[in-house]
Structure 1
Amino acid sequence: MPFYKYVAVEGSGRKIRGVIEAENKVKAISVLAERGLMVVRVEEQKNFKRRSPFFQVSINEIATFCRQLSIMISAGIRIKEALNILARQEVFSRRFRKIITEILVNVETGDTLADAFRKTGAFDNVLISMLEAGEEGGVLDRTLRKAAEFYESVKRLQDEVKSAMAYPLFVLFFAVVIVLVISFYILPSLVRAFGTSIPLSPTIQALLKANKFLSKNWPWFSVLVVGVVVILFIIMRSRYGVYIKEYLSFLFPPVRNLRRNMGLERFARTLGILISSGVRITDAIKMAAHASDSPSIVRKSDEMVQKISEGKTLRDTFAESGVFPQLIYEMIGTGEETGKVDEVMERVADFYEDIVRNSVKRLVSLVEPLLIAGVGGFVAFLAYSIYTTVFQLQRSIGG
């Protein structure tokens, strides 16, 4: 079906713009009018292609949305009415409310809920596949509840990692402030007190030159620092930030092990929730691999799917992949024998979630003394350089 770009006015008088897919222009206007919008302009968009948003949708908003939609559907509210209500909820950001509105428009044009989600380009394949299975099986409310529990679990683990790293980051920030105060305020005052003709060590000279440069160019330097911080923040919150974090984690072995365990946890939990939702095992493995954010698992996913299609058991397939520890393929073998692969994967995910928590605690206990030692060492080095300078001054005065 063709796409139409529209400009319409809400009942509150706010002008909105968007793109709608419809059979023809008349159908597009009809759907928009049913939503209580006064259509100003509708134009067909030639060669229109939907693009995935640069920024990822908040996991917290996805979990809240799935939870509320599940409750409304189980209470007997029609999907269109439920989406219309959720599109006005202030608990969601303006961007996410716009996405819900786009889902509603897609549903009103005849799309299934899964297709409507897919067309927005804002949701991952895990959620979309769960919705497809839920719609086919007539258990959409239960599927949405499982999705909410899944994303809440992911968010809970992320929050624990962030809260654990908050104190080391504060120590690092405080240390940087101390070093800057010593380097650019205390040290120049001390040198001025002894005069400009005293012999200075290379370290002190370098710090004084940096102080002089920043004193003259601090407006431009401040703009540069703020710009770099903003750009890094934007990139890390985008979908490209995942690859950057993955690359940086390989530089530090404890972080590499932590990310590996987090990948196994996400893979096991995603695989379990997809299988329990009725998704085919081959599709579930592919999507779970991509949800793990682990390059090694993603690379092996196609090979694993091929072996399963040829008739190999899950246990043998996982064992031969070489990317999973023995615990996972032995447990999944037990799940095959008992017919409870989904439950087994959920327990494996809980196990690795505990490992991740403990790894974060150990990592924090390792980072804190390293930061303190690094800051203390730099301050001691500055103190030694100042003492050496004063000692040379005393010798020159004595001479």
Structure 2
Amino acid sequence: MKNYSYVAKDTTGKTIKGTYEADSEQELLEKIYEQGLFCVSYSEALGGGRKTAHRFNTAELAYCCRQLSAMMSSGLTIVKALDILYKEEENKGAKEVWKQVYEEVQKGESFSGALDAKRGCFPDFFISMVDAGEISGSLDITMKRLQEYYANTNKLNNKVKGAMIYPCVLLVLVIAVVILMSVKILPIFRSMMPEEKMNVLQKALFGFSDFVINKWYALLIGVVVVIGVIVYALKVESVRLKFDQAKLKMPLIGPLMVKIAEGRFSRTLSSLYSSGIPMVDCLERSSRILNNTYIDKMFVQVVDEVKQGSPVSTALSKTEIFEGMFCSIIYVGEESGALDDILEKTADFYEEEADSAVTRLVGLMEPLMIIVLGVGIGLVLAAVFPMLYGGIAEMEKE
């Protein structure tokens, strides 16, 4: 028996850590899955070191799906395609995972079964889609759909991350300027005016400068403590639930997050439903990729409503999360019998909307950060200029 430690998530998105003794990685993953958990990562104590399974990101999955789709469309079997895929893989961790998947499939295991044994490496959505593709006999088409899905997801993720670079640089610049003025500039003017003659603004700025210079460690400790408290609090299920709910109601940010959620939900639901997976399972799996515990909780009600016979559009509208237009589009798809096609077009629309919303948000953040920087410098100048003017006047009198 080997001792493994693991990190997993439940259906609400809560992170759970633990340890298990198991004879193999497959047995470990089966034990975790039996508890209704999704394994994020696991590691094994081995000769004083730790062996961690490689977890595939969206870019890697898009690449692998494209390769598998192309090879199977050309007439290669899944066994041969996996053989080529793992041999050409350059990342050592990914190569080892694909090699193990290939070996299991070569022994007669299904592709989805081999992936399921590596559940900590592949998303549940990916495994479900492969399973549906094998059942329907259209695995090559499923791989193509997965490639498009992960390529679009990766594009949107990169867009959001890239858009945040400039505001983050400006924020760092603002903090650097504040520290520089507090440590280097303000102390120069301190001796120009007695404290009893200083106004409220001057006393506040010089007091802050003294605190940064003499009590910098307290400021640093305070920042670390605040960050630690926030990180710990977000691990508490009730706090995380309230935080995720509040994010959806924030000005500017809330509507953006809703559009991103609508795009991802549409894309995922379309891919699953078109592969022949029952609607209830589609809804349950689609909500898990939205990374919001509040939406996950609301989707429990959606699934219950659909099980009782309610249309998906009606059940979604009762959550009051998605826009009325989005629910109306779902309704049209249900009535026309072309739900998967309409969902795919809806995903394209909302992903473009999210892209535009990110651009607008960044466009608002840039001048806002510049204004904050300007106000900070303006306050310092407002405090320093009277001292400077008074010093020059005293020199002229002498």
> Per-residue displacement from partner, 1:254-292 (whole Å, max 9, x unpaired)?
111111111111111111111112211111111112222
Deviation at 1:370, TM superposition (A): 1.1
Change (3 A) 1:298 1:372: same
After TM superposition, which residue ranges in structure 1, 4 or more long, deviate above 6 angstroms? Answer: 195-200, 224-228, 242-245, 394-399
Asked if 1 retains the 8 angstrom alpha-carbon contact of 2:182 and 2:212, the reply is no
Asked if 1 retains the 8 angstrom alpha-carbon contact of 2:182 and 2:208, the reply is no
Distance 1:74 1:4 in 2: 41
Aligned to 2:379: 381
Asked if 1 retains the 8 angstrom alpha-carbon contact of 2:193 and 2:387, the reply is no
Aligned to 1:156: 155
Aligned to 2:84: 85
Output the TM-score relative to the length of structure 2.
Answer: 0.73
* 2:94 aligns with one of 78, 93, 96: 96
CA RMSD of aligned residues (A): 4.1
Change (3 A) 1:339 1:248: closer
Asked if 2 retains the 8 angstrom alpha-carbon contact of 1:296 and 1:323, the reply is no
* 2:258 aligns with one of 245, 253, 260: 260
Distance 1:109 1:257 in 2: 49
Structure 2 residue runs without a partner (length 5+):
4-22, 34-38, 43-53
Asked if 1 retains the 8 angstrom alpha-carbon contact of 2:248 and 2:257, the reply is no
Change (3 A) 1:312 1:209: closer
Count of residue pairs brought into register by the alignment: 351
Distance 2:195 2:304 in 1: 77
Asked if 1 retains the 8 angstrom alpha-carbon contact of 2:133 and 2:139, the reply is yes
Aligned to 1:52: 40
Change (3 A) 1:88 1:183: farther
Asked if 2 retains the 8 angstrom alpha-carbon contact of 1:204 and 1:385, the reply is no
Change (3 A) 1:198 1:99: farther
Q: Report the more deviating stretch, 115-124 or 48-57.
A: 48-57
Deviation at 1:243, TM superposition (A): 8.1
Change (3 A) 1:330 1:21: closer
Change (3 A) 1:53 1:243: farther
Aligned to 1:362: 360
Matched to 1:81, the amino acid is K
Change (3 A) 1:361 1:73: same
Aligned to 1:41: none
> Per-residue displacement from partner, 1:154-177 (whole Å, max 9, x unpaired)?
111122222333222222233333
Distance 1:311 1:282 in 2: 11
Map residues 292-331 of structure 1 onto 2, 5 A cutoff. Answer: 292-331=290-329
Distance 2:314 2:129 in 1: 26
Matched to 2:208, the amino acid is A
Aligned to 1:290: 288
Distance 1:271 1:332 in 2: 11
Asked if 1 retains the 8 angstrom alpha-carbon contact of 2:190 and 2:206, the reply is no
Deviation at 1:189, TM superposition (A): 4.6
Asked if 2 retains the 8 angstrom alpha-carbon contact of 1:4 and 1:20, the reply is no
Distance 1:69 1:394 in 2: 77
Aligned to 1:135: 134
Change (3 A) 1:247 1:382: farther
Matched to 2:159, the amino acid is E
Aligned to 1:186: 185
* 2:209 aligns with one of 198, 207, 210: 207
Asked if 2 retains the 8 angstrom alpha-carbon contact of 1:260 and 1:294, the reply is no
Change (3 A) 1:20 1:302: closer
> Per-residue displacement from partner, 1:212-256 (whole Å, max 9, x unpaired)?
555xx79x97xx89999x999x99xx9x9x989947835842111
Asked if 1 retains the 8 angstrom alpha-carbon contact of 2:330 and 2:342, the reply is yes
> Per-residue displacement from partner, 1:299-337 (whole Å, max 9, x unpaired)?
232332333333333333333444333222322222223
Structure 1 residue runs without a partner (length 5+):
6-17, 23-44
Between the aligned residues of both structures, percent identity stands at 25
Distance 2:142 2:299 in 1: 25
Matched to 2:171, the amino acid is L
> Per-residue displacement from partner, 1:116-166 (whole Å, max 9, x unpaired)?
222222222221111111011111111011001001011111222223332
